[in-house]
């Protein structure tokens, strides 16, 4: 009369906190070229991150969400996706975006309060950064539906924070992905915090991955600071998606090493001790250790890399700072494909004012 229905999620880890393999590594680890590229990319992203925070502090950039602690996940996402796949990001996916083809300058423009920061010359089909939490999950299933409708062999990777998993959009979307068997990989970046709200307040469940069960999807937990386990999980999930086997949910467990954004002061609500411990698990350092230990990286290379990254970032910053703002009329020019007659007057007024204020003849 009583029957049990059983379910599970699995969790995986390959490297310990110091970069030492805990056992056999997955096949991806054999690709040294890729692993080195990943490490280089993480250092670039970290360099970009600290520079952008500095720009914000000196009034040259707007509120900015640091990617510190999330580099490994974004790098694995960016590397694993096919070019024709579509990324549906949240706002802390810098590492993935850059690998997809977004330029550092575009990234700066976006956080510098300029819409051109999402017009992306490359990766034209990737969705722009979604600020309203979790809303992008619905777009992800929409994009994946389009692939299915057209019979295309493409997949979607959708990123969302741990906080985002409490919001209907995420939960409704994984449900649709399950019901419609859609080619989507949901990557939950569980960095333990949603601004000041700890993971324990978001949800009473032991793991976030187990939310997949209610949608009939496989759920996997990976150490988000272990490049190999993240990569393996995403590649596996992408393979399933491409193979018509449907969606997955991956919970990548990490820690937000910075403030929520430059507008936040995390010391108000979290323990210095906790932060210190989290640094010990840092995934960038961990991968460096691994490469070092396996004889593929040394101090000179590191020094060179740091210098290269600084230069790349500096160049991008200069380009960014040199950009004139758009004319104010731009605020009407992309509202619709063609400006409706009802708005002609307003656009004219805007142009006139801009001309008057900037004291120029042309402008708009």
Ligand X SMILES: Cc1ncc(C[n+]2csc(CCOP(=O)(O)OP(=O)(O)O)c2C)c(N)n1
Binding stretches for a copy of itself (CB under 8 A): 1-14, 22-23, 166-169, 171-172, 175, 178-181, 200-207, 209-217, 221, 229, 246
Give, as ranges, the residues between 55 and 94 that touch ligand X (CB under 6 A).
92
CB of 112 to ligand X, least distance (A): 18
Please tell me the distance from the alpha carbon of residue 261 to that of residue 66, in angstroms, as a whole number.
6
Over the range 195-230, which residues count as b (16 or more CB within 10 Å of their CB) and which as e?
eeeebeebeeeebbbbbbbebebbbbbbbbbbbbbb
Token pair for 21: 């393999």
Does residue 219 belong to the site contacting ligand X (CB under 6 A)?
no
Token pair for 189: 């970046």
Task: Single out the catalytic residue among 41, 97, 100, 260.
Answer: 260
Cβ atoms of 65 and 260 closer than 8 Å: yes
Closer residue to ligand X (CB): 208 or 350: 208
Those residues with Cβ within 8 angstroms of residue 261's Cβ, 6 or more apart along the chain or in another chain: 63, 64, 65, 66
Stretch touching ligand X by CB under 6 A, among 118-126, 185-193, 218-226, 281-289: 185-193
Does residue 249 belong to the site contacting another protein (CB under 8 A)?
no
Closer residue to a copy of itself (CB): 13 or 285: 13
- Max Cα–Cα distance, the chain, nearest Å: 85
Does residue 164 belong to the site contacting ligand X (CB under 6 A)?
yes
Token pair for 174: 């994984």
Cβ atoms of 194 and 202 closer than 8 Å: yes
Tell me, yes or no, if 256 is annotated catalytic: yes
Locate the DSSP E strands across 191-319: 193-194, 197-198, 219-223, 248-253
Stretch touching another protein by CB under 8 A, among 12-20, 31-39, 199-207, 287-295: 199-207
Closer residue to a copy of itself (CB): 210 or 301: 210
Please tell me the distance from the alpha carbon of residue 66 to that of residue 55, in angstroms, as a whole number.
12
Locate the DSSP E strands across 195-321: 197-198, 219-223, 248-253
DSSP letter for 25, please: P
Tell me, yes or no, if 124 is annotated catalytic: no
Task: Single out the catalytic residue among 18, 269, 296, 344.
Answer: 269
Does residue 111 belong to the site contacting another protein (CB under 8 A)?
yes
**Binding at 14: pick from Mg ion, another protein, a copy of itself, none (beta carbon under 5-8 Å per type):** a copy of itself
Site string for ligand X, 286-325 (x = CB under 6 A): ----------------------------------------
Does residue 232 belong to the site contacting another protein (CB under 8 A)?
no
Please tell me the distance from the alpha carbon of residue 71 to that of residue 21, in angstroms, as a whole number.
20
**Binding at 41: pick from ligand X, another protein, a copy of itself, none (beta carbon under 5-8 Å per type):** none
Please tell me the distance from the alpha carbon of residue 72 to that of residue 85, in angstroms, as a whole number.
20
Cβ atoms of 110 and 129 closer than 8 Å: yes
CB of 185 to a copy of itself, least distance (A): 16
CB of 193 to ligand X, least distance (A): 5
DSSP letter for 41, please: H
Tell me, yes or no, if 270 is annotated catalytic: no
Contacting positions for ligand X (CB under 6 A): 92, 131-133, 161-164, 189, 191, 193-195, 256, 260
Catalytic (active-site) positions: 256, 260, 269
């Amino acid at each position: 009369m009583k029957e049990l229905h059983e379910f599970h999620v699995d969790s995986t880890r390959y490297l310990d906190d110091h970069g030492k393999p805990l056992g056999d590594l997955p096949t991806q680890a054999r690709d040294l070229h890729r692993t080195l590229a990943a490490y280089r990319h993480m250092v670039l992203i970290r360099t970009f991150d600290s520079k952008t925070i500095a720009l914000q502090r000196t009034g040259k950039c707007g509120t900015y969400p640091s990617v510190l602690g999330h580099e490994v996940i974004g790098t694995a996402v960016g590397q694993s996706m096919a070019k024709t796949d579509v990324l549906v990001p949240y706002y802390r996916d810098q590492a993935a975006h850059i690998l997809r083809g977004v330029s550092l300058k575009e990234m700066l423009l976006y956080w510098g309060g300029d819409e051109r920061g999402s017009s992306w010359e490359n990766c034209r089909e990737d969705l722009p950064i979604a600020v309203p939490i979790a809303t992008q999950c619905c777009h992800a299933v929409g994009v994946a539906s389009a692939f299915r409708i057209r019979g295309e062999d493409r997949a979607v990777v959708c990123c969302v924070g741990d906080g985002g998993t409490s919001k209907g959009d995420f939960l409704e979307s994984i449900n649709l992905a399950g019901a419609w068997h859609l080619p989507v990989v949901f990557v939950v970046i569980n960095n333990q915090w949603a601004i000041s709200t700890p993971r324990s307040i978001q949800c009473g469940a032991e793991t976030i991955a187990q939310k997949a069960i209610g949608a009939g999807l496989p759920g996997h937990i990976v150490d988000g600071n272990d490049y190999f386990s993240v990569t393996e999980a995403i590649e596996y999930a992408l393979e399933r998606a491409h193979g018509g086997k449907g969606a997955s949910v991956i919970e990548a467990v990490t820690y937000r090493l910075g403030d929520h954004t430059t507008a936040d002061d995390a010391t108000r609500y979290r323990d210095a001790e906790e932060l210190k411990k989290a640094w010990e698990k840092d995934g960038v350092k961990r991968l460096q250790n691994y490469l070092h230990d396996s004889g593929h990286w040394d101090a000179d290379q590191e020094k060179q890399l740091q210098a290269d990254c600084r230069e790349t970032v500096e160049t991008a910053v200069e380009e960014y700072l040199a950009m004139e703002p758009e004319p104010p009329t731009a605020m009407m020019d992309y509202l619709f494909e063609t400006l409706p007659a009802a708005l002609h007057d307003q656009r004219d007024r805007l142009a006139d004012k801009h001309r008057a204020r900037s004291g120029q003849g042309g402008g708009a």
